[in-house]
Amino acid sequence: MSMQVFFAPLEGITDRDYRKLHRAYYPGIDRYYIPFISPTQDRILTPREARMVDNSFCPDVVQIPQIMSKNAGDSLWSIHLLREMGYSEINLNFGCPSGTVTGKGKGAGMLRDVDALDRYLDEIFNGLESGERISVKSRIGFAAPEEYDDILKVYRRYPFCAVILHARTKTELYRGDIHKEALAQTLQDAPWPVCPNGNIFTKKDAEAMQNAFPAIGAVMMGRGLIADPAALAREEDETARRVRLTQFTNDLFDAHLARLDVRNAVAYMKDIWFYQMHRFYDETGKYAKRLRKATDVTEFRAAYRAVLEDLPFTEVETIS
């Protein structure tokens, strides 16, 4: 596959332990986007945020931190801080569809008021310092695809280093197909690189996207890579894939047990396995149920090892 692949930021999942281990076990991702930090008027990073953007943890990985804020001044403070930490690109989040986020006017909530979006971006680009590069991850509207005409007009005014487009509205969440006509509209005379995101679960999906839109140089994958960390590498036989996935899962669990209590470490791994079960054929659902019901380390290890040892692989087709 000639184009690049970027790993989407998934809040609560693609933390620094995940990024480091995925890179070690499944090389091939060109960039990892870091789940958002949300600056406030206090102008400090929380301990969670500081850990999230600590780029000394895996210095060989190209990582892009993401900011989610509706206040340009707070955002600029974060951009300058992250640049001082060595990051060459900072991504602005206009795509998160969570109701708790959009209700505060953040994430995809920024798309509800196009004039306010324009003012925000104008202040950002007027306040940048030398070497600070800005990309954006966006949806195509808040309530309706027709909103995108005005949003795109605003975007075309600014020198982003890239636009990552999830071609759905906020209200569509992750349902249905993406609006490919919006992607085509963006690519037409685009003044910056365009990277599609959404409904790209497999290498086959990525290749189909490139075939449909030859002008794109990269795609962003998220849930598909969580479901199948080896989605880009199919050269191994089934036994080797099982061994690698077992080692990856063991190390990921151990890394979270080392810094979280058992309840939270198990909860984190349950989030991972919600997606990874899409990679296995569990006809009766009993293996998934066993994973959900496990409450301690021994139970949970036994539950996921049973999946890895007993169940046949299946292709990831869609993830709800």
CA distance 208 to 202: 10
- Non-local (6+) Cβ contacts of 189 within 8 A are none
Closest listed residue to residue 131, CA positions, set 94, 67, 66, 79: 79
- Exposed/middle/buried for residue 115 (C-beta within 10 Å: 0-12, 13-18, 19+): exposed
Residue 96: what pLDDT? 93
Point out the residues of the chain with pLDDT beneath 70. 1, 234-236, 320
- pLDDT tens for 44-92 read 888 889 888 888 777 778 899 999 999 999 999 999 999 999 998 999 9
- Non-local (6+) Cβ contacts of 163 within 8 A are 135, 136, 138, 155, 186, 190, 192, 193, 194, 195
- Exposed/middle/buried for residue 39 (C-beta within 10 Å: 0-12, 13-18, 19+): buried
To the question of domain 4-227 being in CATH 3.20.20.70, the answer is yes
- pLDDT tens for 166-187 read 999 999 999 989 999 999 999 9
- E strands, the chain, are 4-7, 31-37, 63-67, 89-94, 133-138, 162-166, 194-197, 218-221
CA atoms within 13 A on the CB side of 235: 3
Tokens for 53?
Answer: 């953007």
Question: Cβ(80)–Cβ(129) under 8 Å?
Answer: yes
Question: Cβ(295)–Cβ(265) under 8 Å?
Answer: no
Residue 1: what pLDDT? 64
What ranges do the domains of the chain cover?
4-227, 238-310
Residue 124: what pLDDT? 98
- Non-local (6+) Cβ contacts of 98 within 8 A are 107
Radius of gyration, CA atoms only, the chain: 20
CA distance 232 to 28: 7
